Structure 1
Amino acid sequence: MGDIKEQVQRFPASRIIDVAKALSGDLRLRILEALGEQSMSISQLAAKLGVAQPTITINIQLLEHAELVTSTLGANREKICSVTCRTILLELPTKLGEGLQKLEEIHMPIGMYSNSFVGPPCGMVNKEGAAIGCVDDPRVFYMPERTEAALLWFGGSGFVEYYFANPVPPGVVFDELQFCAELCSEAPGFHPEWPSDIVLFINDHRIGQLSSPADFGDRKGKLTSSKWSGGTEYGLLTTWRVTPEGSYVNEERQTDTTLSDLNLQYNKPIRIRIEVPEDAANCNGLNLFGSSFGDYPQDLVLSFFQIHDVHEEE
């Protein structure tokens, strides 16, 4: 039997959501069952459960984030996974803000945008690399099948806009907002020198610009389907940050937009628009990657940091 670090693991109220999310998936429960008696590699789990290795990897990461599974590197540098405990104890929240995570995250599939404006060339494919609708037909961006998109793209100028819920209730504030996505320029096929200026707006406020240097297709994306032959393979994992002092892109300060400028309210959505503006110096479109395409197993992620209770007594 594999080593189990703790018989009982206690989780504070701030970790309840992490643990609940990890335990809410049938496959993740099956992974915990498989690891109940022995440690196993990713490939062994895939064979035992009859699931593709990338899918196992994504679900193992969720279990690791919740601290229900831990991993080490085996002799062949393959990930060896083990459960961390046999029993968990959850502490329920007792005051305002205590049940929220210090890192609150919302994950949004790339096809779940609420508004868009694109023109040809454009399109989207599912996780198997099969086209959704007709390539270069902007009407595809209004089809219900768009929710299955694993990669979407458009050339030239355009945008996709997403509505995120604000998970922070009245009386609780946070110190930093982050948005993370994998993306790159859009060229015919792919091109190693194809710059595009991709700008993020939150509630119509400009946060900052990623100047993508290329449409990357020089190698296969780590998660990209072998059936996909469209040229673009992976992107750049990019983080936009908004703080009380200003806004940043990958740690580089870009604008003076602050959290207070965004006028975030608990009962109104947070509108995030990813755009290549018409007046951009490099107006060369974008590719946007979902959790099963490119190099990174994640969808769009909006994160809230350092949440605390403003009414907490000193």
Structure 2
Amino acid sequence: MAKYIELSADDPDELCKVAKALSAPLRIDIIKLLYEQSCNVKEIAEKLNIPASTAALHVKVLEETGLINTENQPGERGSAKVCSRRGDVVTIRLHGLENKTTDIRTFSMPVGAYTDCKIMPTCGIGSDTSIIGNEDKPRDFYLPGRMCAQILWTSAGYVEYRFPNIIPKGKKARRITVSAEMCSEAPNYREDWKSDITLWINGIECGTWTCPGDFGKRRGRLTPAWILEGNTQYGLLVSWNVEMEFNYVNGTKVGVGNLDEMNIESLPFITVRLGNRPDAKYIGGFNIFGEKAGDYPQDILLTVEY
């Protein structure tokens, strides 16, 4: 599969740096040579019939611009810098083209695929067929079986997920939406048990939704058979929208937009945390439902517009 290096006129410094690196025929020869095999600096010099010092200088330029990879490996007389190609195709997007188009991508994250959590009893985690581990044991949230979870609950704390960041270089996030089926967490269930559930993206608080209760008067449309009546059955669908100017929860404005503070473009992932603030008015815990539990056939959804 071809490896692509994407450049954009929206980043003129990077574009000019790479263009300058490619402007020397000798550096083109080095790239062509590395397309066939990896070589150290001495081998490059011998194959191209140039001094080793000249080869080292050109390799440094290509390395600094990200056109090749280098790695020091032990040899017979000390270490040697081994060079390999990084890309097969260099693409240049002209200024203005990206700003006139909008792309939207949605990712579905399984409930149990969290990367961090803080759990407090009452708590538990379960699949569509059985409980995973034991109830009220925070340690069981680290069992490998959690990846099959369709429901999890905790009386306080948070769960955190990492979604892939697929925003191309040179583009900026315009809107991020997080959607999940959730409710409060009371012992058994209690329909008037309020909970202030907050979303954080990349560590930045994005808004709080006050859930009215923990719902169990009727069975959820997708509730697994092992969950008995008298316990939590379903949740409500809640959606956070984070934009440049304002943030919204279920369409209601909850604060000034802080998308620029999140440094979305600087990381290979987008961190999403759901939970109760320690100083919240209603620390009522939360349930999160997957696509095979509750009322709605969906996992946690992250939509990025860029």
**The TM-score by the shorter chain falls in which range?**
0.5 to 0.7
CA separation of 1:169 and 1:159: change in aligned 2, threshold 3 A: same
Q: Indicate whether 1:106 and 2:107 are aligned.
A: yes
Q: Distance in 1 between matches of 2:247 and 2:157?
A: 22
Which residue pairs with 1:145 in the alignment?
A: 145
Counterpart contact for 2:114–2:160, Cα < 8 Å: yes
**SS at structure 1 position matched to 2:264:** coil
- Correspondences of 1:134-283 after superposition (within 5 Å): 134-155=134-155, 157-229=156-228, 231-265=231-265, 267-283=267-283
Q: Distance in 2 between matches of 1:228 and 1:148?
A: 16
Q: Distance in 1 between matches of 2:223 and 2:167?
A: 35
Q: Distance in 2 between matches of 1:113 and 1:226?
A: 24
Q: Which runs of 5+ in 1 are unaligned?
A: 1-93, 308-314
Q: CA deviation at 1:105?
A: 0.5
Q: Which amino acid aligns with 1:173?
A: K
Show CA shifts across 1:241-286 (max 9, x none). 1111021111111122321111112543211110112211111110
Q: Distance in 1 between matches of 2:139 and 2:204?
A: 28
Q: Which amino acid aligns with 2:109?
A: M
Q: Which amino acid aligns with 1:193?
A: D
Counterpart contact for 1:202–1:271, Cα < 8 Å: yes
Q: Which runs of 5+ in 2 are unaligned?
A: 1-91
- Correspondences of 1:75-90 after superposition (within 5 Å): none
Between the aligned residues of both structures, percent identity stands at 38
Q: Indicate whether 1:116 and 2:114 are aligned.
A: no
Structure with larger Rg: 2
Q: Distance in 1 between matches of 2:207 and 2:168?
A: 27
Q: CA deviation at 1:204?
A: 1.2
Counterpart contact for 2:124–2:135, Cα < 8 Å: yes
CA separation of 1:126 and 1:101: change in aligned 2, threshold 3 A: farther
Q: Which runs of 4+ in 1 moved over 3 A?
A: 94-98
Q: Distance in 1 between matches of 2:152 and 2:204?
A: 24
Q: Distance in 2 between matches of 1:229 and 1:124?
A: 15
CA separation of 1:97 and 1:106: change in aligned 2, threshold 3 A: farther
Show CA shifts across 1:267-312 (max 9, x none). 432111101122111111100000100111111000012x3xxxxx
Q: Distance in 2 between matches of 1:267 and 1:199?
A: 22
Counterpart contact for 2:173–2:264, Cα < 8 Å: no
Q: CA deviation at 1:102?
A: 3.2
TM-score normalized with structure 1 length: 0.64
Which residue pairs with 2:32 in the alignment?
A: none
Q: Distance in 1 between matches of 2:157 and 2:131?
A: 20
Q: Which amino acid aligns with 1:186?
A: E
Counterpart contact for 2:190–2:213, Cα < 8 Å: yes
- Correspondences of 1:36-55 after superposition (within 5 Å): none
**SS at structure 1 position matched to 2:209:** strand
Counterpart contact for 2:164–2:270, Cα < 8 Å: yes
Counterpart contact for 1:206–1:257, Cα < 8 Å: no
Q: CA deviation at 1:170?
A: 0.4
Q: Which amino acid aligns with 2:301?
A: V
Counterpart contact for 1:289–1:299, Cα < 8 Å: yes
Q: Distance in 1 between matches of 2:131 and 2:232?
A: 14
**SS at structure 1 position matched to 2:257:** coil
Q: Distance in 2 between matches of 1:101 and 1:123?
A: 40
Q: Which amino acid aligns with 1:113?
A: Y
CA separation of 1:263 and 1:140: change in aligned 2, threshold 3 A: same
CA RMSD after TM alignment: 2.1
Q: Which amino acid aligns with 2:114?
A: Y
Which residue pairs with 2:82 in the alignment?
A: none
**SS at structure 2 position matched to 1:178:** strand
Q: Distance in 1 between matches of 2:252 and 2:215?
A: 23
Counterpart contact for 2:172–2:265, Cα < 8 Å: no
TM-score normalized with structure 2 length: 0.65
Q: Distance in 1 between matches of 2:250 and 2:122?
A: 29
Q: Which amino acid aligns with 2:221?
A: K
